[in-house]
A and B are shown apart, each in its own frame.
Chain A
Amino acid sequence: MAAPPSFLWSRRIFLTVLTVFVLLPVYVMLSSSLKPLEDVSEKFQWVPSEFTLRPYADIWETVPLADYFVNSLIVSGAATVCSVVIAVFAAYAVSRYDFRGKRVFTVTVLSTQMFPGILFLLPLFLIYVNIGNATGIALFGSRGGLILTYLTFSLPFSIWMLIGYFDSIPRDLDEAAKVDGCGPVGALFRVIVPAAVPGIVAVAVYAFMTAWGEVLFASVMTNDTTRTLAVGLQGYSTLNDVYWNQIMAASLVVSVPVVAGFLLLQRYLVAGLTAGAVK
């Protein structure tokens, strides 16, 4: 298709402006993380007056960033694994079986997306405290409570997306597996799961990002030992000083794992969205 100049120029201009808009904060993050403290405290400079890696060494001292990192990894990792397994089961049931209450289930799960988080923050906090008092299982302030909370955040979208994905896998495949002696669960693991890898990866990426980036529940439901990065990053501003170069360095460090993972797997995410959400 031969595109006219009007199209080519519009495309060029639009994409240039958009690229600048998208990358500006990334540039600020990177360049400021390499500046000495005087640079970031005074007038903004496009190029650091002196390149230094000091902020990258200091971030671990100013706040216990390594601990927060480990907490975030455990919480997000566990939430992702549980959420994906549970979503696969639920989506398989909805996609392959007819049962009473199916519509009610899908509608209810989807509508939880609509709830303002603020509506169930306090009740959930009370439930966790009460469960703790009644059974001795510490949910409030623990990683377990946060894992439990986070895994339900990504669940509705994951189930929804996987239903679409599973629906697009021909039923002949499960029938063939059953002929070969698989039970329904065997068919799920031997046939459906391998065929749905792109969708499952997409859902896992989404679940991990949701957990890694959540702020509200992390700030209410953690204590000193279970704090995640979302809350821990606030530690770089003290009453006297804001260590902007360290904040930027720490932001970059906490972003690298999810951005790298996301960009590596984005192919799957687009494929997953195509098969799932869009149809």
Chain B
Amino acid sequence: MTITVASRHDKSGPGAQRQQDRPGARRTTRRSGRLRHVSLPYLLLLPALLLELLVHLVPMLMGIVMSFRELTQFYISNWSEAPWAGLGNFRMAVDFDAPVGQALLKSFLTTCLFTVCSVALCWLIGTAAAVFLQERFRGRGLLRTLFLVPYALPVYAAVITWVFMFQRDNGLVNHVLHDQLGIGGDPAFWLVGDNAFWALLTVSVWKGWPFAFLTLMAGLQNIPRDMYEAAALDGAGVWKQIRHITLPSLRPVNQVLVLVLFLWTFNDFNTPFVLFGKAAPESADLISLHIYQSSFQTWNFGTGSAMSVLLLLFLLVVTGVYLLVTSRGRKAKARA
């Protein structure tokens, strides 16, 4: 009711007059009606705002405060009374000579390498698939649907299937590599040791590339057909058209896509958690699982929070620089 009243003072004449016949409208003074009109967007935003505050922003601020405290299991029920630690937690996290800092640094570097490989492969496969499926041919619709299956499957169901495939003695991977292709000596362990990195990368790419594909397919639909027709008239073949029309036109889409893929892959917890359980092997110890594991193992949540804050700072800097570089590129292009 109150919201319909607000429209009374809209510029739309006839509608406003009709609204005045409503009983509720007559009771409201002109002044409060205008107030409500001004506040309508805020009212509409309120639920989203409250939820974001409760679930994201307040916990994040709390996490930052926690990172300055000596928060062990004794203070967990009354965290605000934990002793102040100053920068102690941060110093511990970045003391690369001590075991904690050393493990964190190693996990960070692993995550960087992993993220670069995964994003690059997801992007490459997604681009190739989107470009190859741009033109109509028999079976195109079917493939388009099939390619989205890894994206649609729930993470735990999909990753647990990969766990089964990577089993040493009864898995498909070793059966194919060892028994059918005759590669190597003993069947390899995939989910422990150095191979775990490749296992994780495979699963991550399998699960992640369809998102790139989906976004790029949507991006391809915005390229006007006559650009291709004009290029064809000028004698450009398919490959040339892809290089000079398709790929450059996808640039703005790619800028968003790469950033989103980067953030999702870097923060991914679910894939390593389902693949390895609570503790990942060193070669595939991604940072979010590492922080989770190290905070719940030592029950030192202060240090865990400090690690998370450092991670957030890193992501903020990377994202900021990325946005700056891409927007500068865009501006330079607009000027040219």
Interface residues of A (CB under 8 A from B): 1, 3-4, 6-7, 10-11, 14-15, 18-19, 21-26, 28-29, 32, 40-44, 86-87, 89-90, 92-94, 97, 99, 102, 105, 108-109, 112-124, 126-127, 129, 148-149, 151-152, 155-156, 159, 175, 178-186, 209, 212-216, 229-230, 233, 244, 247-248, 251-252, 254-255, 258-259, 262-263, 266, 269-270, 273-274, 277-279
* Contact assessment for B256 and A277 in the assembled complex, using a CB-CB cutoff below 8 Å: yes
- Asked if B114 is at the interface of the complex by the 8 Å CB criterion, the answer is no
- B97-105, B191-199, B216-224, B328-336: which lies at the interface: B216-224
* Given A108-B57, A259-B149, CB of A44 within 8 Å of CB of B51: no
Q: Which of B47, B161, B238 contacts A86 (CB 8 A)?
A: B47
Q: Which of A24, A155, A259 contacts B48 (CB 8 A)?
A: A155
Smallest beta-carbon distance A121→chain B, Å: 7
| In the complex, chain A residues whose CB is within 8 Å of the CB of B109 | none
A273 vs B221: C-alpha distance when bound (angstroms): 11
* Contact assessment for B149 and A277 in the assembled complex, using a CB-CB cutoff below 8 Å: no
* Given A43-B175, A178-B15, A270-B217, CB of A183 within 8 Å of CB of B274: no
* Contact assessment for A263 and B145 in the assembled complex, using a CB-CB cutoff below 8 Å: yes
A152 vs B45: C-alpha distance when bound (angstroms): 13
Smallest beta-carbon distance B280→chain A, Å: 14
Given A122-B304, A229-B154: 4 more A-B contacts, CB < 8 Å: A24-B172, A25-B161, A44-B175, A270-B217
A246 vs B301: C-alpha distance when bound (angstroms): 37
With a 10 A CB-CB cut-off, give which of B18, B148, B169 has the most chain A CB atoms. B148
With a 10 A CB-CB cut-off, give which of B45, B165, B291 has the most chain A CB atoms. B45
- Asked if B79 is at the interface of the complex by the 8 Å CB criterion, the answer is yes
* Given A25-B165, A273-B214, CB of A116 within 8 Å of CB of B288: yes
A235 vs B259: C-alpha distance when bound (angstroms): 36
* Contact assessment for B12 and A179 in the assembled complex, using a CB-CB cutoff below 8 Å: yes
A263 vs B141: C-alpha distance when bound (angstroms): 11
* Given A114-B312, A277-B215, A278-B222, CB of A122 within 8 Å of CB of B132: no
A186 vs B10: C-alpha distance when bound (angstroms): 13
- Asked if B164 is at the interface of the complex by the 8 Å CB criterion, the answer is yes
* Contact assessment for A3 and B274 in the assembled complex, using a CB-CB cutoff below 8 Å: no
* Contact assessment for B215 and A181 in the assembled complex, using a CB-CB cutoff below 8 Å: no
Q: Which of B44, B292, B315, B316 contacts A121 (CB 8 A)?
A: B292
5 residue pairs bridging A and B, Cβ less than 8 Å apart:
A25-B150, A113-B263, A118-B304, A120-B60, A278-B215
Chain B residue with minimal CB distance to A32?
B164
* Contact assessment for A155 and B41 in the assembled complex, using a CB-CB cutoff below 8 Å: no
- Asked if B279 is at the interface of the complex by the 8 Å CB criterion, the answer is no
* Contact assessment for A230 and B156 in the assembled complex, using a CB-CB cutoff below 8 Å: yes
* Contact assessment for A126 and B12 in the assembled complex, using a CB-CB cutoff below 8 Å: no
| In the complex, chain B residues whose CB is within 8 Å of the CB of A212 | 154
* Contact assessment for B48 and A99 in the assembled complex, using a CB-CB cutoff below 8 Å: no
Q: Would you list which residues of chain B between 258 and 280 have a CB under 8 Å from chain A?
A: 260, 263, 267, 269-270, 273-274
Q: Which of A7, A159, A273 contacts B239 (CB 8 A)?
A: A7
Per CB-CB distance, the 4 closest pairs between chain A and chain B, nearest first, are A120-B59, A123-B59, A183-B7, A119-B308
**Chief secondary structure at chain B's binding surface:** helix
A279 vs B148: C-alpha distance when bound (angstroms): 22
* Given A178-B10, A184-B3, A216-B269, CB of A21 within 8 Å of CB of B206: yes
* Contact assessment for B143 and A115 in the assembled complex, using a CB-CB cutoff below 8 Å: no
- Asked if B88 is at the interface of the complex by the 8 Å CB criterion, the answer is no
A99 vs B60: C-alpha distance when bound (angstroms): 26
- Asked if B54 is at the interface of the complex by the 8 Å CB criterion, the answer is yes
Q: Would you list which residues of chain B between 132 and 174 have a CB under 8 Å from chain A?
A: 132-133, 135, 143, 145-158, 160-162, 164-165, 169-172, 174
* Contact assessment for A3 and B238 in the assembled complex, using a CB-CB cutoff below 8 Å: yes
A18 vs B147: C-alpha distance when bound (angstroms): 8
* Contact assessment for B157 and A233 in the assembled complex, using a CB-CB cutoff below 8 Å: yes
Smallest beta-carbon distance B34→chain A, Å: 14
- Asked if B63 is at the interface of the complex by the 8 Å CB criterion, the answer is yes
| In the complex, chain A residues whose CB is within 8 Å of the CB of B319 | 114
* Contact assessment for B12 and A116 in the assembled complex, using a CB-CB cutoff below 8 Å: no
| In the complex, chain A residues whose CB is within 8 Å of the CB of B156 | 213, 215, 229-230, 233, 251
Q: Would you list which residues of chain B between 12 and 45 have a CB under 8 Å from chain A?
A: 12, 14-15, 18-19, 38, 40-42, 44-45
* Contact assessment for B44 and A90 in the assembled complex, using a CB-CB cutoff below 8 Å: yes
A236 vs B47: C-alpha distance when bound (angstroms): 40
Q: Which of A115, A254, A277, A279 contacts B56 (CB 8 A)?
A: A115
Q: Which of B15, B40, B52, B143 contacts A109 (CB 8 A)?
A: B52
* Contact assessment for A118 and B238 in the assembled complex, using a CB-CB cutoff below 8 Å: no
* Contact assessment for A123 and B62 in the assembled complex, using a CB-CB cutoff below 8 Å: yes
* Contact assessment for B295 and A151 in the assembled complex, using a CB-CB cutoff below 8 Å: no
* Contact assessment for A120 and B56 in the assembled complex, using a CB-CB cutoff below 8 Å: yes
Chain A residue with minimal CB distance to B51?
A152
* Contact assessment for B238 and A175 in the assembled complex, using a CB-CB cutoff below 8 Å: no
Q: Would you list which residues of chain B between 203 and 221 have a CB under 8 Å from chain A?
A: 206, 214-215, 217-219, 221
Q: Which of B149, B154, B164, B312 contacts A248 (CB 8 A)?
A: B164
